[in-house]
Amino acid sequence: MTDLTGRTALITGGASGIGAACARAFAAAGARVTIADLNGEAAAEVAAELDGDSWAVDLSDTVALRDVSLDCDILVNNAGLQHVAPIEDFDPERFALMLRVMLEAPFLLIRAALPHMYEQGFGRVLNLSSVHGLRASQYKSAYVAAKHGLEGLSKVTALEGGAHGVTSNCINPTYVRTPLVEAQLPGQAKLHGIREDQVVTDVMLAESAIKRLVEPSEVASLALWLAGPDAGMVTGASHTMDGGWSAR
Ligand SMILES: NC(=O)c1ccc[n+]([C@@H]2O[C@H](COP(=O)([O-])OP(=O)(O)OC[C@H]3O[C@@H](n4cnc5c(N)ncnc54)[C@H](O)[C@@H]3O)[C@@H](O)[C@H]2O)c1
Single out the catalytic residue among 118, 139, 143, 175: 143
Q: Is the CB of 175 under 6 A from ligand 1?
A: yes
Q: Which three-class secondary structure string do you get for the chain? A: CCCCCCCEEEEECCCCHHHHHHHHHHHHCCCEEEEEECCHHHHHHHHHHCCCEEEECCCCCHHHHCCCCCCCCEEEECCCCCCCCCHHHCCHHHHHHHHHHHHHHHHHHHHHHHHHHHHHCCEEEEEECCHHHCCCCCCCHHHHHHHHHHHHHHHHHHHHHHHHCEEEEEEEECCECCHHHHHCHHHHHHHHCCCHHHHHHHHHCCCCCCCCCECHHHHHHHHHHHHCHHHCCCCCEEEEECCCHHHC
Tens digit of each residue's pLDDT (9 = 90 or more) over 40-95: 999 999 999 999 999 999 999 999 999 999 999 999 999 999 999 999 999 999 99
pLDDT score at 55: 98
What digits encode the pLDDT tens for the residues 107-149? 999 999 999 999 999 999 999 999 999 999 999 999 999 999 9
Indicate the average pLDDT of the chain: 97
Strands 237-241 vs 166-173: parallel, antiparallel or unpaired: parallel
So what's the pLDDT on residue 197?
87
Whether the CB of 166 sits within 6 Å of ligand 1: no
pLDDT band per the 50, 70, 90 thresholds, residue 230: very high
Which sign does the torsion angle of CA 162, 57, 15, 191 carry? negative
Instruction: Please tell me if the CB atom of residue 104 comes closer than 6 angstroms to any atom of ligand 1.
Output: no
Q: Are 115 and 159 in contact (CB under 8 A)?
A: no
Q: Indicate if 143 belongs to the active site.
A: yes
Closest C-alpha residue for ligand 1 atom 29: 38
Domain boundaries, the chain: 8-175+215-226
Residue 116 C-alpha to ligand 1 middle, in angstroms?
Answer: 26
Q: pLDDT value at position 1?
A: 87
Ligand 1 atom nearest the C-alpha of 21 is: 16
- Verify whether ligand 1 is closer than 6 Å to residue 80 (CB atom): yes
Fold for the domain defined by 8-175+215-226: Rossmann fold (3.40.50)
pLDDT of residue 210: 96
Q: Is 149 in the pocket of ligand 1 (CB under 6 A)?
A: no
**Nearest residue CA, atom 44 of ligand 1?**
176
- Report field, pTM of the whole predicted structure over 0.95: yes
Mind listing the pLDDT tens digit for each residue in 183-209?
989 999 999 999 998 999 999 999 999
Average pLDDT on 217-241 reads 98
Q: In angstroms, what is the span from residue 14 Cα to ligand 1's centroid?
A: 8
pLDDT confidence of residue 91: 98
CB 123 within 8 A of CB 73: yes
pLDDT band at residue 158, thresholds of 50, 70 and 90? very high
Residue in 62, 178, 219 to alter for ligand 1 test, most ligand atoms within 8 A of Cβ: 178
C-beta 128 within 6 A of ligand 1: yes
Give the Å distance between the CA of 212 and the centre of ligand 1. Answer: 20
pLDDT value, residue 216: 98
